[in-house]
Structure 1
Amino acid sequence: MKTLKHISILALLTLILGCNAAPQPIDYGNDGCAYCSMTIVDKTHAAEIVTKKNKVYKFDATECMINFMDEFDTSEIELYLSNDYSEPGTLIDAKKATFLISKNISSPMGAFLSAFEKKAAAEDMQADKGGDLYSWEELLAHLKD
């Protein structure tokens, strides 16, 4: 009876902990983009979606993540993550990021789109490279036009 109780508790804990949405590290050079199937190699532009059921979709660029959203039930998405251009390989909350579209910074899919965790870093890069800054919501509206 004790064994059944322990198994039941373990199963319950696994279910509870297993459903928490959490990012997964991107295996650069091996993981493929869920939208365009390219191998993800660029540590400054990769992105990731995590669903409420903890399913992870990885992308070679934020623009692929946004295009993927058109084919997906976005009510199921818990996290939108983009790599911080200032900290290559570091995923940040895309909803809180500042985005720069600058023809002087290439990105894997040619949208010239980069994400920054800190608005000041995006402004500094804009001063150096030119371009336009966007919040997450502004970016979505801009790319839908």
Structure 2
Amino acid sequence: MKTLKHYIFISLLLLVFSCNVSPKPIDYGSDGCHFCKMTIVDKVHAAEIVTKKGKVYMFDATECMINFRKDFDTSEIELYLSNNYTEPEALIDATEATFLISKNIPSPMGAFLSAFKNETNAKEFQAEKGGDLYTWEELLAKFKD
């Protein structure tokens, strides 16, 4: 009987710790985009989705992540992450980011979309490169078409 309780306890511990809901580092040059299947190489435009169960989907651009959402149960998504344009490889919360669409900053899939951790940085690049700023919700509405 003690053995059965031991196995149940161990099983519960494994279940709790196996559902780690956190981002994974992107292996640039090796990992592929879950949406378009291209190899992820751009260190300032990549993105990730992490589900509530801890499954990670990687993308070569924020626009691929947004397009992926259209055919996915979004209620299962815990985290939306985009690379911070001013800090290569650093993933930031896309729902809190400010986005710039500027024809003067190319992105992998041609949407000219870059994410910034704060609005101040986004406005600095907008002043230099032109373009329009968006919140996460505004960006989703724009890509809904």
TM range (shorter): over 0.9
- Which residue of the partner structure matches residue 23 of structure 2? 23
Q: Residue 65 in 1 paired to residue 53 in 2?
A: no
CA distance in 1: counterparts of 2:41 and 2:6, whole angstroms: 44
TM-score by length of 2: 0.94
| Deviates further, 40-49 or 18-27 | 18-27
SS of 2:42's partner is coil
- Which residue of the partner structure matches residue 9 of structure 1? 9
SS of 1:144's partner is coil
**What is the deviation of 1:93?**
0.5
- Which residue of the partner structure matches residue 37 of structure 1? 37
CA distance in 1: counterparts of 2:74 and 2:19, whole angstroms: 17
**What is the deviation of 1:144?**
1.5
SS of 2:32's partner is coil
**What is the deviation of 1:5?**
4.4
Q: Which segments of structure 1 move beyond 6 Å, counting only runs of 4 or more?
A: none
- Which residue of the partner structure matches residue 99 of structure 2? 99
CA distance in 2: counterparts of 1:36 and 1:30, whole angstroms: 14
> Structure 2 unaligned runs (5+)?
none
SS of 2:39's partner is coil
SS of 2:110's partner is coil
CA distance in 1: counterparts of 2:26 and 2:7, whole angstroms: 33
Same amino acid, percent of matched pairs: 72
TM-score by length of 1: 0.94
**What is the deviation of 1:10?**
2.9
CA distance in 2: counterparts of 1:86 and 1:5, whole angstroms: 52
For residues 42-100 of structure 1, the C-alpha deviation after alignment (integer angstroms, 9 at most, x for no partner) is 00000000111111110000000000011111111111000000111011100000000
CA distance in 1: counterparts of 2:110 and 2:28, whole angstroms: 19
